[in-house]
Structure 1
Amino acid sequence: MTLNKKSPFSAQNLLLLIPVLIIFGCASIQRPMGGPRDKTPPKVLKSTPVNPTRNFVAKTIQIDFDEYFKLNNVYQEITVSPDMVKAPEYNIKQKSLVIKLKDTLSKNTTYVINFGKAIVDVTEGNILKNFTYVFSTGQHIDSLNVSGMVSNNQQGKEKDVTVMLIPLKQDSIYFGKKKPAIYTTTDTAGNFKLSNLHDGDYKIYALKETGPNKIYDNEEELIGFTKNIIHLKKDTANIQLVLFKQIPAKLRPLDRKIDQDGKLLFTFNKGIDNPGVKILTPALDAEKIVEFSKKADTATIYLKTLTFDSVKVSFLSGDKPLDTITLRRGQRETYKRKVTLDYNLSSEKLRPGTELLIKASYPIENIDPTRITLTEDSVEVNDFNFQRDVNDAKKFTVKYKWRPGKQYNLAFNEGTFTTIYGDKNTRLVKHFELEKPESFGMFTLRMTVPDTGQYVVQLLNSNDIELRSDIITKNTSLVYKNFYTGKYHLKVIYDANHNGKWDTGSIKKLTQPENIWIYKKDITLRPNWEDTIDIEIPKEIRHP
């Protein structure tokens, strides 16, 4: 018996099914997703002519890689040594780099093409660092090497730092003005190596820059150098370069403004030695109150009179004028202020053996002590002493025999303080207690110095914030009482100029930054614990 129903595999249906099978078939051979990330930079498979080549006469160089790549920052990263008047042309063809030489090559000369960080794979951005192609137009290829390490006094070994070697006769032409032809970058351990060098006299620099131009042209960049000239006649190793940030030669304002509360704010690119301020116009110099930051690179000026159209401020170092800045204000400008207080408390607790220190948000002109109340466990006490700081109109001290286990309530009722602007405080209350003795410990550092020099011993907390600084010149013991339990670090400055602080270097003066030694072990302070630690400061390793 014959059925009239069509078979599902008829020719017509089969034709419809073929495209679907093709689509799914193609999908099944796609690259699987996931898997480990590719961290390998492009690999050179072949160079034509070979790398290196003697008696070079070619006009074109082809370098074949194992994967697709791209070139980043060609004119910043790629250099040719010695310089070519006409720069080469760089073209990418599939997985190959084709270099066309446009210039006439000098005879019996070794050329080095340094690609820096220019060669990058297209998928993950992995960089082929410091790849060089070398050729010579004569029988000899320069083969001298210079190697060493770059470090930072503050942070240790530095990676990805540009190390530049400049022929001595070109130093004044290139340093800080042009990209050098001979350079490399440090590895993860701070090591560097410059190869295929010609004999001669060189200056060497290390540069941690803010941009990719290989030029020291920004005062925020870190620089390192050796004051000794490298007389390159044989391989030279163990060059030590220490990075530092120079103090800018000229004082320059970074910010200047009249704040919303009327105070004048100035920020500079460096600190001012023996800083001073003079109000030139209007005649308000006698009423000014000036507050400099610890580094003397920020100044806050309070003026009682705020009706001027403009104010001209002169900044001085001692009696020497450094800069004059003018600020203008609108006649309709108004200012909003609120008196607040800061205390030397940690989590509302006062450290034993200390007085309660208070700092107001604005200079205080008058105080009404009758409006101050202090209670101990809710009982009012009167035998406390409230004192002004004779050198700072914003600071005060409350002296009292604080006792453990007691709850204190200090209230500055409305109108206790009157600022220089005539503003009065609203009621301000502070609750606190004396920190328990078991939260503190004591330790002694028995310091041994290597010679008769001067050293600055700094104690830092776990956040590397300086807590205390001592100057020593001989073997001595430093006692640290009532310090919070926890971990501390120790840093020692070799104070070469005996000014009690760390000083950076200067290329112009050929001075290196002062050395710093960091004690490798943590100092762990336990509750109710007294410990003695022997610290031997190593002999200073002087920079070349």
Structure 2
Amino acid sequence: MQKFSTFFWGLVVVGGIFLSQLTTGCANIVPPQGGPRDTLPPRLIKVIPADSSTRVNARTIQLFFDEYIEIQQGQDNLIVSPIPAIAPVIESKLRDLTLKLKDSLLPNTTYSIEFGNTVKDFTEGNIAKGLRYVFSTGTYLDSLELSGSVVVAETGRVDSTLIVILHKDATDSALIKSRPFYLSKLDKNGRFRFRNLPPDRFFIYALKDEGGTRRFTKPSQLMAFADEPVFTNRQNDSLVLLAFAAEKEAGTVADPVTDRSKPKTEADKRIRYQTNLSNNQQDILEPLLLLFDSPLQRWDKSAIRLFSDSLYTPIDSIRIVEDSTKKILRIETPWLEGNRYHLVLTKGAFSDSSGKTLTKTDTLHFSTKKKTDYGKLKVRLRGLDLNKKPVLQWTQNERVIRSATLTTTEFTDELFAPGDYQLRILYDANGNGRWDTGQFFVVRRQPEKVQALDKKISIKPGWSNEYEIDVNDR
């Protein structure tokens, strides 16, 4: 009995040791606890084939780091140039990264691989930024560069989500049908840089890469082009591309739905509209707007009457204008400050495309603002070229609130609506007072340029607000 007990407990001990070893061998990688936080990105210690190698024909590249790594959005972050027809496969295991090139390598060609934000450490997510690998299938490495910047023409600002691509094909259709040869992303300042290029001629474009196709797909897509091809063995540092959309993105318009299951009530037939009045106050610098949900089919000027003061004195000097969408009526008149007004809309004054009409007479009562509700503004612009037909624009959230064509380098206004504004300058090539987009297909025309000024101004009511701005300050 004693021998059996000894044997039994011996088995328990051995089994415990075996299970301990087994669970240890199957454990996950756990970062060490305690100590200072790791703030350093993974460091590349070795590459096979070596960086900047020539006569390379291997299609598997191995990178070894000094710590455990993981990859994020590998296909989105990785840029292989020249761009292969088949995307490479990227894998990571512990401290190693393997890149498998699935497409055939071109002869006598320099390849570059930019990893972007692909590689980060396992513990803290520190990104190995600026990681780049170059090799050549020929006997030497190409070393030419091409750099420049891209701005959105209408705003003068940067959209860092745009990409810049190089094509060898001169035809317009290449932008739609063909894969580009080289690609570069923009930095936060809108700058791009191609490196290790061969001596050659290219056609350069910028695109909003929608769907990851690296192609032009629709007229509302942001794009830019250079008027002339670029040659990599020439100086091109001043290259600036102006991005534009040939057409605005169309909104989704629902067809009116008619419910025939029951007769329409009076409310169903009544046309709906809004105004631009704020707290029942009218801006004396702006027209009164009537805003409709559906395009107007008919409106009667004689049924829209404006009166002033408590005596309902008729105002005949009004102008009513329908906008191009037929959804806005502008009522213009020389508004008197601090005055009481009444807008009378007679029954049947207008009807819209869905068959709705004004089923009864409406009267809008409102007052105009006083001059003390506005501020005085003086802006002096140093370094402004008046030969370029500049138009000064005041914007809020990239929407133009007001604009003024400049014939001198100083703008003055005794009545300016209070608020915070960004300033920009439109160089109005055709002199029509508004920004005009560009065109690429059929007729090539660059968009008009807008320069964003890095200056915010704040207009306070009842104050004299003066600003001096150097337009060449960046």
**TM-score (structure 2 length as normaliser):** 0.70
Distance 1:451 1:73, change over 3 A: same
SS at match of 1:187: coil
Q: Where does residue 526 of structure 1 map in the other structure? A: 460
Distance 1:88 1:187, change over 3 A: closer
CA distance in 2 between counterparts of 1:215 and 1:90 reads: 22
The answer as to whether partners of 2:348 and 2:360 remain within 8 angstroms in 1 is: no
Structure with greater proportional strand content: 1
Aligned equivalent of 1:338, options 270, 287, 307: 270
Shift of 1:477: 5.5
Q: What is the letter of the counterpart of residue 377 of structure 2?
A: F
Q: What is the letter of the counterpart of residue 458 of structure 1?
A: Q
1:232-243 equivalent positions in 2, closer than 5 A:
232-233=232-233, 236=235, 238-243=237-242
The answer as to whether partners of 1:144 and 1:198 remain within 8 angstroms in 2 is: yes
Q: What is the letter of the counterpart of residue 141 of structure 2?
A: I
Distance 1:450 1:77, change over 3 A: same
CA distance in 2 between counterparts of 1:67 and 1:30 reads: 11
Q: Deviations over 1:412-461 (max 9, x none)?
A: 69x7455456855457464544434432122244668524342323233x
Distance 1:183 1:67, change over 3 A: farther
Q: Where does residue 324 of structure 1 map in the other structure? A: none
Q: Where does residue 516 of structure 1 map in the other structure? A: 450
Q: Where does residue 160 of structure 2 map in the other structure? A: 159
Distance 1:387 1:339, change over 3 A: farther
Aligned equivalent of 1:259, options 240, 247, 256: 256
CA distance in 2 between counterparts of 1:355 and 1:103 reads: 65
CA distance in 2 between counterparts of 1:174 and 1:450 reads: 38
Shift of 1:147: 2.4
CA distance in 1 between counterparts of 2:435 and 2:200 reads: 36
Q: Where does residue 321 of structure 1 map in the other structure? A: none
The answer as to whether partners of 1:350 and 1:433 remain within 8 angstroms in 2 is: yes
Shift of 1:148: 2.7
1:186 aligns with 2:186: yes
Q: Deviations over 1:350-390 (max 9, x none)?
A: 33587866667764459779xx99896xxx52324378756
CA distance in 2 between counterparts of 1:453 and 1:178 reads: 37
1:4-19 equivalent positions in 2, closer than 5 A:
none
Q: Where does residue 501 of structure 1 map in the other structure? A: 434
Q: Deviations over 1:175-199 (max 9, x none)?
A: 3323323222222233332222211
Q: Where does residue 231 of structure 1 map in the other structure? A: 231
The answer as to whether partners of 2:175 and 2:216 remain within 8 angstroms in 1 is: yes
Q: What is the letter of the counterpart of residue 430 of structure 2?
A: N
Q: What is the letter of the counterpart of residue 393 of structure 2?
A: Q
The total of aligned residue pairs comes to 438
Distance 1:360 1:145, change over 3 A: closer
1:201 aligns with 2:198: no
SS at match of 1:521: strand
Aligned equivalent of 1:491, options 424, 427, 441: 424
Distance 1:442 1:76, change over 3 A: closer
Q: Where does residue 64 of structure 2 map in the other structure? A: 64
Q: Deviations over 1:255-285 (max 9, x none)?
A: 56542589xxxxxxxxxxxxxxxxxxxxxxx
Q: What is the letter of the counterpart of residue 455 of structure 2?
A: K
Aligned equivalent of 2:387, options 452, 463, 466: 452
Q: Where does residue 315 of structure 2 map in the other structure? A: 385
SS at match of 1:193: strand
Shift of 1:403: 7.0
Distance 1:338 1:518, change over 3 A: same
SS at match of 2:211: coil
Q: What is the letter of the counterpart of residue 179 of structure 1?
A: R
CA distance in 2 between counterparts of 1:88 and 1:476 reads: 54
SS at match of 2:239: strand
Q: Where does residue 283 of structure 1 map in the other structure? A: none
Q: Where does residue 245 of structure 1 map in the other structure? A: 244
SS at match of 2:51: coil
Distance 1:332 1:441, change over 3 A: same
Q: What is the letter of the counterpart of residue 81 of structure 1?
A: P
Which stretch of the first structure deviates more once superposed, 432-441 or 416-425?
A: 416-425
Q: Where does residue 282 of structure 1 map in the other structure? A: none
SS at match of 1:45: strand
CA distance in 2 between counterparts of 1:497 and 1:347 reads: 39
CA distance in 2 between counterparts of 1:428 and 1:382 reads: 15
1:7-46 equivalent positions in 2, closer than 5 A:
43-46=43-46
CA distance in 2 between counterparts of 1:70 and 1:129 reads: 12
Q: Where does residue 440 of structure 1 map in the other structure? A: 374
Shift of 1:126: 7.4
Shift of 1:53: 1.0
CA distance in 1 between counterparts of 2:201 and 2:317 reads: 66
SS at match of 2:372: helix
Unaligned runs of 5+ in 1: 1-10, 263-329, 540-544
Shift of 1:48: 1.0
SS at match of 2:277: coil
Q: What is the letter of the counterpart of residue 220 of structure 1?
A: S
**Aligned sequence identity (%):** 22
Q: Where does residue 350 of structure 1 map in the other structure? A: 282
The answer as to whether partners of 1:144 and 1:197 remain within 8 angstroms in 2 is: yes
Q: Where does residue 114 of structure 1 map in the other structure? A: 113
Q: What is the letter of the counterpart of residue 373 of structure 2?
A: S
1:236-385 equivalent positions in 2, closer than 5 A:
236=235, 238-248=237-247, 258-260=255-257, 336-340=268-272, 342-352=274-284, 363-365=298-300, 380-385=310-315
C-alpha RMSD of matched pairs (Å): 5.1
Higher relative contact order (CA 8 A, sep 6+): 2
Distance 1:247 1:464, change over 3 A: closer
Q: Deviations over 1:467-486 (max 9, x none)?
A: 333334x3276443432333
Q: Where does residue 211 of structure 2 map in the other structure? A: 211
Distance 1:348 1:36, change over 3 A: farther
Shift of 1:50: 0.6
Q: What is the letter of the counterpart of residue 92 of structure 1?
A: E
CA distance in 1 between counterparts of 2:360 and 2:35 reads: 63
**TM-score (structure 1 length as normaliser):** 0.62
CA distance in 2 between counterparts of 1:104 and 1:56 reads: 9
Q: Where does residue 100 of structure 2 map in the other structure? A: 99
Distance 1:388 1:240, change over 3 A: same
Aligned equivalent of 1:468, options 399, 402, 408: 402
SS at match of 1:517: strand
